[in-house]
Amino acid sequence: MPTVSSTKGTTVGISDDTARDAYLYGYSMEKAYEFLYETTIEPGVRLNEFQKLRDLADDTYTAHPTINNDTLHLQGWFDVAAEPVVVRVPDVDGDRYWILHTMDMGHYTTAMIGSRTRGASGGTFLFAARDWAGEVPDGVDEVIRSDSNLIKVMGRIMTTGGADLEIARTLQDQWTLETLSEHRGTRAPAPVVRDFPDPAATTWLHRVDFLLADGSMARADAAWLVGLDAVGVEPGRTEFSDDQLDAAVRGEALGMQHLTELVPTVSSSKGVLGTRDELQDAPRDVFDIGTLVGQWGLPAVESVYVKIESAAGSNEYINGAGGREFRATFPAPDVSEFWSVTVYGEDDRLMAHNSINRHSRGDRTLTPDENGMYSILLSADVDAHADDPEFLPIPEKDSYLILRLYGPSTAIQDGDFTPPVFTPVPATSTP
């Protein structure tokens, strides 16, 4: 197992190192489970159904921090324990961006099916457990296997809003999700019944062991699990000694301290978000950063996210108070799909209200000049700039920008890219 920085001290035979490494192994699974429980199990939302976000997310949407303002969403969870599920995606119009993105409970991407790989052509896709050995029906374009029986799904369909919104909604309505028996019109197998552990009444050990017993993750992670049974990390285990419970508490504290210290050293989503084949043997603590700062995020080959916090020559957050304005002029980033810039408040990582409900600008809403350069103006003065298509409202509080680069070039994926630089606009003097 890859190691992390050394700590000293033991309690009743379970060292701090072992306790911490056990927590770092289970961290991404634990956070995936917490999200599943809070958004689906506790409120009674059904598995194997799409939850559709019918409008572009704006300041009224608070469920997920830093959500994009570019696409409609289809969210939910597949349960493939009893049988596979089949997803149908329609063809799209023109160069519209779309993606069907899935991740297992280990936080590994299992599918990135979309316009980057298929263009405007949709298709029929079957999602199955790793060990499923059934017959694939005719007409299925791709079979996707998962090491967890529970799979997070996130579908995205780009829209510029306005009249285009209804077109995107029509496409959204044509996405279908069926169990394999529904797809075939045959009798369904008996469902798998689970007793989901309540995070309020259990430890992270209970929840990680629950997930390890639901699919083939324990087999896939066999090398990582060596020695962690001393702490109690073991598929299906529900009872733990006092020593193991003590180690779980210590491991969580030490693990979170380590991850918090590690975050500033990770500057790219490459190496922290990706498939099991890409990241299975990566250092576990570095892998966990993908969950900590970008849970359910797309790998770098599909999208790169760049955070812009301050203007040129300043260490302070972008802030529209006091009439401050900022402008950037820059060439188009090298992407195959699209790019956009969205504003978020630093305090809550959510979009802030403005009277024209504009939260992003990008290559689908801006027009380059004769030299191919794009320009964005940041200001809190909506009245003065509402008619300017280059205007992007910012609040009168500390804020930051997220530049999303969909279908980024290899150079961008590798960090060889200079983001737009925003410079203060000189205040206009009154004669």
Of 23, 36, 67, give the one whose Cα is nearest residue 259.
23
The closest alpha carbon to 84, from 188, 214, 172, 220, belongs to 188
- Cβ pair 103, 274 in contact under 8 A: no
Q: How far is residue 374's CA from residue 367's CA, in Å, rounded to a whole number?
A: 7
SS3 411: helix
Q: Do residues 26 and 208 make contact, with C-beta atoms less than 8 angstroms apart?
A: yes
Q: What is the CATH number of the domain that holds 123?
A: 2.60.40
Q: What is the mean pLDDT of each run of 10 residues along the chain (431 residues)?
A: 37 86 98 95 96 95 89 97 98 96 98 97 98 97 98 97 96 98 97 96 98 98 96 97 97 97 84 93 94 90 93 94 97 97 94 97 97 98 98 97 96 93 82 45
Task: Examine residue 133 and state whether it is found in any structural domain, yes or no.
Answer: yes
Give the type of residue at 45: V
Backbone angles phi, psi at 427, to 5 degrees: -65, 140
Residue 308 host element (H or E):
strand 303-308
Helix (H) or strand (E) holding 166: helix 163-173
The 10 Å Cβ neighbour count of residue 414 is: 13
In a domain, 358, yes or no: yes
CA distance 299 to 273: 5
Q: Count Cβ neighbours within 10 Å for each residue of 327-365 and write b for 16 or more, e otherwise.
A: bbbeeebebebbbbbbbbbeeeebbbebeeebbbbbbbb
Domain final residue pick, 184, 212, 238: 184
What CA–CA distance (Å, rounded) separates 269 from 307?
12
Of 184, 216, 245, the last residue of a domain is 184
Which single residue is written with the structure tokens 């962690």?
228
Hey, which residues does 361 pair with through a beta bridge?
341
Q: Mark residue 290 as left, alpha or beta (left: phi above 0; alpha: psi -120 to 50; beta: remaining).
A: alpha
129 within some domain:
yes
Contacts of 385 (CB under 8 A, 6+ apart): 377, 379, 391, 393
Number of domains in the chain: 2
> Exposed/middle/buried for 371, CB within 10 Å: 0-12, 13-18, 19+?
exposed
Can you list the alpha helix ranges (DSSP code H) found in 231-275? 242-262
**Helix ranges (DSSP H) in 6-84:** 16-36
Say whether 358 sits in a helix, a strand or coil.
coil
Q: Take residue 88 and report the two structure tokens written for it.
A: 């149908």
Residue 65 is predicted with a pLDDT of 83
DSSP states of 133-159: --PPPTT--EEEEESBSEEEEEEEEE-
**76 part of a folded domain:** yes
- Domain presence at residue 264: no
Q: Is residue 105 part of a domain?
A: yes
Q: Is the dihedral of CA 333, 335, 337, 342 positive or negative?
A: negative
* 112 within a domain of the structure (yes/no): yes
Question: What pLDDT, on a 0 to 100 scale, did the predictor assign at position 8?
Answer: 39
CATH number at residue 419: 2.60.120.1600
- Beta strands 14-15; 51-53: pairing state: unpaired
What DSSP letter does each residue of 117-135 carry, written as one string? HHTT--EEEEEEETT---P
- Its domain, for residue 369, covers 303-424
Name the pTM for this structure. 0.90
- Domain closes at, from 140, 158, 184: 184
Q: Is residue 356 part of a domain?
A: yes
DSSP label of 275: B
Nearest Cα neighbor of 47 from 18, 71, 82, 23 is 82
